[in-house]
A and B are shown apart, each in its own frame.
Chain A
Amino acid sequence: MTAVLACQGVRKVFGSSVVLDGLDLEVAEHEVVALIGASGSGKSTLLRCVNLLEELDDGTIHLDGSHITDPRVNPDLVRRKIGIVFQSYNLFPHLSVLDNITLAPVRVHKRSVSSARAQALELLTRIGLADKASAYPDRLSGGQQQRVAIVRALVNAPRLLLLDEVTSALDPELVGEVLDLISDLKRDGMTMVLATHEMNFARQVADRVCFLDGGRIVEQGPPSQVLDAPVEPRTQQFLRRLAPA
């Protein structure tokens, strides 16, 4: 079976700093992969490259076996199969919650407004935000906005969901509701790649943890192995710094 996502030798340079330096990563169907590592280790950049928001400087990325980093491929068609959720939510402030969610189904996937709305309401009900359907994003708490952003990505039924530090901008008491939603998605079999600073969350939800350093994956494996018994000195050092003093 081909992997849902396959990155080979991915290189990305910003100015004089090499952010991704020949990175390899494969993600199987229904697998949840957590990317951990210090700020600037390239976690977010990798996700943006996969969603074709950044151009590669070398290497290839395949989605379901087809080469998506070929410049002749229409990026709009690729992005329809990939959902991404950002640290800063990036909801559209001029649209209501419901319109935020139904924009892509109606405009991109050409579905009828009524069926898109029905599906959006069903998803909102599932995450307990049906009463906010007609509210504007600035009336919602950070946790609520991020859950709406996740639903907005899900409504397109993506093959792959990318989560970029989705809890980093949230107050501690709001983190739980977002993490619960992601755990639900894992139960539903969603294939996900998430960049995170929350080691406990990585432990809970990830099938595999990858530690990034210097633009490569230095160490990877099941959470219990990478987080509790790291082999590489750099992983040990990173985790030691995170541990409460």
Chain B
Amino acid sequence: MTRSDTAFTPSAVQLDRVAWRRRQTIRSILVAALSTAVLGALLVFAVTGAPGWDRVRQSFLDPSIAADALPDVLRGLWLNIRLLVFCALGSLGLGLVIALLRTLRGPVFFPVRALAVSYTYTFRGLPLIIVIYVLTLGVPGLRLQGMPSVLVLGGAALVLTYSGYLAEVFRAGIESVHPSQVAAARSLGLTYRQAMRHVVLPQAVRRVAPPLLNDTVALQKDVGLVSLAGPIDAVRAAQISTAEHFNYTPYIVAGVLFVLLAIPLIAVTDWVTLRAARRQAGR
């Protein structure tokens, strides 16, 4: 079907079409550039021209205070990053286990299924802050031997809540795999478990990778909530610095750092989503 195109010369009609499309492309780029410049100029003018701009700049964008607050905020951010990694892995693992428990069949597993269902209902309904308070303030009050630190308990609260969401994402993925795939696997003699492990799960996880990563981006912001119980994360460090200087600049510093931290994760999510969409279109 594919013949060499070396001898091909486009007709006048085709040459005209190509030239017209090129002119259209250049025009589009120019229009986009112009409208961006106009909108940007309007925004800068509106903000800097506002009557209170000088006061706002002093109390939110003071470079010397930003430099002063940065080390503390960075130290707090390091805690956020460590918590994020552990909580993301923990809730992915627990979420997958709960999703799998929900797919178990047979009367023996009724209580397990019921537990898994009530778990996802409870922890998706319960506000995260309440879970954190109960675990970090309530549980230590039991005065049990070997009580883990408040940080670990706060992390556990995050894992409990997020695995409720992730379990539902995993379950959606498992259910999206067509039953004929299970039929094909079972007809080859694979047990239910083997079919799940080697046929259903690999396809399911690939399909739900984008929403899983999206929830991880959301988790990144929520890990800071453990500071409610005492540990100093980036936002908490910024709050302390703000109180010292009577200036809000540390919050802006923390905000910028959070966005910088999120960019790689969001970029990976977009890339995975795009790849999944391309794969599906290729079918």
* Interface set of A (CB-CB < 8 Å, partner B): 51, 53, 75-77, 79-80, 82-84, 86, 88, 90-94, 103-104, 107-109, 138, 152-153, 156
Question: Bound complex: CA of A48 vs CA of B189, how far in Å?
Answer: 14
**Quick one: which of A75, A79, A138 contacts B188, CB cutoff 8 A?**
A79
* Known contacts A107-B198, A108-B194; A92/B181 CB under 8 A: yes
CB distance from B261 to the nearest CB of A (A): 32
* Known contacts A107-B198, A108-B194; A86/B180 CB under 8 A: yes
Question: Bound complex: CA of A94 vs CA of B197, how far in Å?
Answer: 13
Across the interface, do A76 and B203 meet the contact criterion of CB distance under 8 Å?
no
Enumerate chain B residues within 8 angstroms of A53, measured Cβ to Cβ: 183, 186-187
Residues 73-98 of B, flagged 1 when their CB comes within 8 A of A and 0 if not, give 00000000000000000000000000
CB distance from A88 to the nearest CB of B (A): 6
Question: Bound complex: CA of A53 vs CA of B187, how far in Å?
Answer: 8
CB distance from B92 to the nearest CB of A (A): 19
For residue B199, CB closer than 8 A to chain A, the reply is yes
Enumerate chain A residues within 8 angstroms of B181, measured Cβ to Cβ: 90, 92
* Shortest Cβ-Cβ A-B pairs, 3 listed: A80-B189, A90-B184, A104-B188
Across the interface, do A103 and B198 meet the contact criterion of CB distance under 8 Å?
yes
* Known contacts A86-B180, A138-B282; A152/B202 CB under 8 A: no
Across the interface, do A107 and B186 meet the contact criterion of CB distance under 8 Å?
no
* Interface set of B (CB-CB < 8 Å, partner A): 180-181, 183-191, 194, 198-199, 202-203, 206, 282-283
Across the interface, do A76 and B189 meet the contact criterion of CB distance under 8 Å?
yes
Enumerate chain A residues within 8 angstroms of B187, measured Cβ to Cβ: 51, 53, 79, 82-84, 153
9 A–B pairs (Cβ distance < 8 Å), ordered by A: A76-B186, A76-B191, A82-B187, A88-B180, A92-B199, A104-B189, A107-B190, A108-B188, A108-B190
**Quick one: which of A86, A94, A108 contacts B206, CB cutoff 8 A?**
A94
Enumerate chain A residues within 8 angstroms of B190, measured Cβ to Cβ: 76, 103-104, 107-108
Enumerate chain A residues within 8 angstroms of B184, measured Cβ to Cβ: 86, 90-92
* Known contacts A90-B181, A90-B184, A138-B282; A108/B189 CB under 8 A: yes
Residue in chain B with minimal CB distance to A48: B183
Enumerate chain A residues within 8 angstroms of B199, measured Cβ to Cβ: 92, 103
**Quick one: which of B188, B202, B282, B283 contacts A156, CB cutoff 8 A?**
B188
* Known contacts A90-B180, A138-B283; A153/B202 CB under 8 A: no
Question: Bound complex: CA of A83 vs CA of B186, how far in Å?
Answer: 11
CB distance from B198 to the nearest CB of A (A): 6
Question: Bound complex: CA of A93 vs CA of B203, how far in Å?
Answer: 8
* Known contacts A86-B180, A86-B184, A88-B180; A94/B191 CB under 8 A: no
CB distance from A218 to the nearest CB of B (A): 28
Across the interface, do A94 and B186 meet the contact criterion of CB distance under 8 Å?
no
Enumerate chain B residues within 8 angstroms of A91, measured Cβ to Cβ: 184
Enumerate chain B residues within 8 angstroms of A138, measured Cβ to Cβ: 282-283
Enumerate chain A residues within 8 angstroms of B206, measured Cβ to Cβ: 94
Across the interface, do A94 and B202 meet the contact criterion of CB distance under 8 Å?
yes
Enumerate chain A residues within 8 angstroms of B188, measured Cβ to Cβ: 79, 103-104, 108, 152-153, 156
Contacts A104-B190, A108-B188 given; 5 further ones with Cβ under 8 A? A53-B186, A84-B187, A90-B180, A93-B203, A156-B188
Question: Bound complex: CA of A75 vs CA of B188, how far in Å?
Answer: 11
Question: Bound complex: CA of A94 vs CA of B173, how far in Å?
Answer: 14
Residue in chain A with minimal CB distance to B184: A90
Question: Bound complex: CA of A83 vs CA of B188, how far in Å?
Answer: 7
Enumerate chain B residues within 8 angstroms of A86, measured Cβ to Cβ: 180, 183-184
Residue in chain B with minimal CB distance to A149: B184
Question: Bound complex: CA of A240 vs CA of B66, how far in Å?
Answer: 88
Enumerate chain B residues within 8 angstroms of A108, measured Cβ to Cβ: 188-190, 194
CB distance from A199 to the nearest CB of B (A): 27
Enumerate chain A residues within 8 angstroms of B202, measured Cβ to Cβ: 94
Enumerate chain A residues within 8 angstroms of B183, measured Cβ to Cβ: 53, 86, 90
Question: Bound complex: CA of A104 vs CA of B190, how far in Å?
Answer: 7
Enumerate chain B residues within 8 angstroms of A51, measured Cβ to Cβ: 187
Enumerate chain B residues within 8 angstroms of A152, measured Cβ to Cβ: 188
Question: Bound complex: CA of A92 vs CA of B198, how far in Å?
Answer: 10
CB distance from A55 to the nearest CB of B (A): 13
Question: Bound complex: CA of A43 vs CA of B189, how far in Å?
Answer: 22
Residue in chain A with minimal CB distance to B203: A94
Across the interface, do A79 and B189 meet the contact criterion of CB distance under 8 Å?
yes
CB distance from A108 to the nearest CB of B (A): 4
